[in-house]
Structure 1
């Protein structure tokens, strides 16, 4: 820590979720909610990796570099596992979002796939008034 600087205040203090949600919605413009976008796009990415959805469905919602990485990973999974898609579609169990000081949104998403729960960490950034997925880690 650099001396003489104050620690940064968290974006949302405990009990301050209303103002955080309002800020997240307002920043995206036109009522687009970052947590809703995170839930939808992370679920779609999980379906792509499981072979349940074509990777092209993510083109509009991801950065070009993330799209390429997901396409490579989906292709690798398809070659290893064969072309049998998983029968279990992921369901959202919970979504938690935090705005960063730069205005990006970091999300934690819990996905339920049958009897298995997976965690995903996602980063969304505003691009032309829309939240775009720029980073994704699924465990």
Structure 2
């Protein structure tokens, strides 16, 4: 009969291959090959790389959010809608000094404080420049125009600080 199974040996359970033998009592079990994950197909990331990539994406999301918040706060400080001293938590000392001076000069030339309207952050982008260093850009909409802000954000003592800032 074509396709028929080979005959079973006496005492062999049904469904097992004909070459399999039942283990005798007290006989050592055959050694099994050590299990290892199958190597990924070409182009598939290794799990450690995926974890590192996910950490990097999370870090970039955090930096983008920080860039958007700081850009909006700096424009508000320059317009006189926010005290410049509130920027000290985000900016390093030289950048903070530059921003305070800029807000002070803008306040002297602008007689109508707060008349410009509330600015709105439109979005931000970031790019890793080095380990723990990002360069970011953000856009802020005012009632009469849109402003661009460029930032350099560095990790210092487990905190992100803006180390360079340019308002356009």
Match of 1:103 among 123, 126, 132: 132
Asked whether the 8 Å contact 1:39–1:95 carries over to 2, the reply is yes
SS of the counterpart of 1:126? strand
**How many equivalent residue pairs?**
117
**Residue 62 in 1 paired to residue 91 in 2?**
yes
How far apart are the structure 1 equivalents of 2:55 and 2:145?
A: 33
Is 1:81–2:110 an aligned residue pair?
Answer: yes
Match of 2:56 among 5, 13, 23: 23
Which residue matches 1:93? 122
Distance in 2 separating the partners of 1:138 and 1:21:
31
Moved more, 77-86 or 46-55: 77-86
The structure with higher relative contact order (CA 8 Å, sep 6+) is 1
Distance in 2 between residues matched to 1:49 and 1:85, nearest whole Å: 10
Distance 2:112 2:131 in 1: 41
**CA 135–104 in structure 1, closer or farther in 2 if over 3 Å, else same:** same
Cα deviation 1:55-85 (Å, max 9, x = unaligned): 1100111000011111111111111112522
SS at match of 2:116: coil
Question: Cα gap change, 1:20/1:83 in structure 2, threshold over 3 Å: closer, same or farther?
Answer: farther
2:152 paired with 1:119: no
Q: Does the 8 Å contact 2:137/2:149 carry over to 1?
A: yes
TM-score, length basis structure 1: 0.75
Runs of 4+ in 1 over 6 A off after TM superposition: none
Write 1 or 2 for the structure with the bigger share of strand: 1
TM-score (norm 2): 0.63
